[in-house]
Amino acid sequence: MKEFRVVFFVAVWVGLFVGSPSGAPAQDASSPPATVDERIDALDRKVRGLEKQVESQQEGVQTESKKTPAAHAGNDGFSLVSEDGDFRLRLGGILQADGRFYINDQSHQGTNTFLLRTVRPVFEGTVYRYYDFRFMPDFGGGTTVIQDAYMDIRYLPEAVLRAGKFKTPFGIERLQNETDLLFVERALPNNLVPNRDIGLQGYGNFGGESFSYALGVLNGVPDGGSADGDTNDNKDFVARIFTNPFRNGELEPLRGLGFGVAGTYGKEKGTAASPNLPTFKTDGQLTFFSYRSDGTASGTVIAAGLHDRISPQAYYYWRSFGLLGEYVRSSQEVSKGSNSARLANQGWQVATSYVLTGDAASYKGVKPRSSFDPHKGTWGAFELAARFGKLTVDNDAFPLYADPAKAAQEASAWAAGINWYLNNNVKIVTDYDQTGFKGGGANGGDRKDEKVILSRFQIAF
Strands 131-138 and 113-127: antiparallel
Higher pLDDT, 218 or 35: 218
| pLDDT exceeds cutoff 70 at 361 | yes
The torsion angles phi and psi of 166, rounded to 5 degrees, stand at -160, 175
Average pLDDT value over all residues in the chain: 91
Separation between Cα atoms, residue 27 and residue 35, nearest integer Å: 11
Is there a single domain that holds both residue 32 and residue 142? no
The reply to whether 41 and 118 lie within a common domain is no
Domain check: are 320 and 439 in the same one?
yes
pLDDT of residue 7 exceeding 50, the answer is no
- Domains of the chain: total: 2
Residues 53 and 73 placed together within one structural domain of the fold: no
3-state secondary structure (DSSP) of residue 7: helix
Buried b / exposed e across 290-323, counting CB within 10 Å, b at 16+? bbbeeeeeeebbbbbeebbbbbbbbbbbeebebb
Q: What's this model's pTM, rounded to 2 decimal places?
A: 0.85
Contact 76, 89 (CB under 8 A): no
Q: How far apart are CA 381 and CA 311, in angstroms?
A: 32
DSSP string, 39-90: HHHHHHHHHHHHHHHHHHHHHHHHHHHHHSPEEEEETTEEEEE-TTSS-EEE
pLDDT of residue 23: 42
What does the alpha-carbon distance between residue 341 and residue 436 come to, in Å, rounded to a whole number?
A: 27
As a whole number, mean pLDDT of residues 188-206 equals 98
Same domain, 58 and 82: no
**pLDDT at residue 42 above 60?**
yes
Taking only the tens place, the pLDDT of each residue in 242-270 is 999 999 999 999 999 999 999 999 999 99
Q: Name 142's Cβ contacts closer than 8 Å, sequence gap at least 6.
A: 116
Task: Say whether pLDDT at 22 is over 60.
Answer: no
The reply to whether omega before 399 is within 30° of 0 (cis) is: yes
Q: Across residues 143-157, what is the average pLDDT?
A: 97
pLDDT value for 225: 97
Whose CA is closest to 166, among 85, 122, 227, 108? 227
Residue 438 has pLDDT above 70, yes or no: yes
Per-residue model confidence (pLDDT) at position 368: 98
Indicate if 16 and 133 belong to the same structural domain: no
CA-based torsion, 393, 398, 403, 409: positive or negative: positive
Handedness of CA 249, 251, 252, 258 (dihedral sign): negative
Assess whether 365 and 437 both reside in one domain.
yes
Distances (CA, A) of 433 to 246, 359, 376: 34, 25, 35
Give residue 33's pLDDT band: very low, low, confident or very high (50, 70, 90): low
Q: Are residues 223 and 350 in the same domain?
A: yes
The amino acid present at 435, given as its one-letter code, is T
Q: Are residues 213 and 320 in the same domain?
A: yes
Residue 376 to residues 235, 347, 420: CA-CA distances in angstroms?
Answer: 57, 46, 18
Phi then psi for residue 386, to 5 deg, are -145, 150
Nearest in space to 234 (alpha carbons), one of 253, 217, 255:
217
51 compared with 126, residue with greater pLDDT: 126
For 120, 260, 265, the CA distances from 308, given in Å and listed in that order, are: 31, 17, 4
Same domain, 222 and 143: yes
Mean pLDDT across 56-70 = 60
Q: How confident is the model at residue 307 (pLDDT cuts 50, 70, 90)?
A: very high
Structural domain for 450, as ranges = 69-460
What percent of the chain shows pLDDT beyond 90?
A: 82
Q: What is the CATH number of the domain that holds 121?
A: 2.40.160.10
Residue 113 has pLDDT above 90, yes or no: yes
- Ranges assigned E (strand) in 207-256: 211-218, 236-243
pLDDT of residue 164: 98
The predicted structure's pLDDT at residue 107: 87
Q: Which of 22, 40, 66 is the last residue of a domain?
A: 66
* HEC string for 113-125: EEEEEEEEEEEEE
Does residue 51 sit in the same domain as residue 89? no
Please tell me the distance from the alpha carbon of residue 67 to that of residue 84, in angstroms, as a whole number.
Answer: 7
Render pLDDT for 155-178 as a digit per residue (tens, 0 to 9): 999 999 999 999 999 999 999 999
Q: In angstroms, how far is CA 397 from the centroid of its own chain?
A: 36
Mean pLDDT confidence for 69-82: 91
Q: Given this model, what pLDDT does residue 381 score?
A: 98
Lowest mean pLDDT among 2-11, 111-120, 298-307, 440-449: 2-11
The domain boundary residue, chosen from 27, 50, 66:
66
What kind and span of H or E run contains 287?
strand 287-290
For the chain, the first-to-last Cα distance in angstroms comes to 46
3-state secondary structure at position 358: coil
Indicate the residue among 39, 66, 93 that finishes a domain.
66
Give the mean model confidence (pLDDT) for residues 364-380. Answer: 97
Positive or negative: CA dihedral 288, 270, 330, 204: positive
Same domain for 102 and 55 = no
Band of residue 26 on the pLDDT scale cut at 50, 70, 90: very low
Q: What's the pLDDT band for 25 if we cut at 50, 70, 90?
A: very low
Residue 445 confidence (pLDDT) above 70: yes
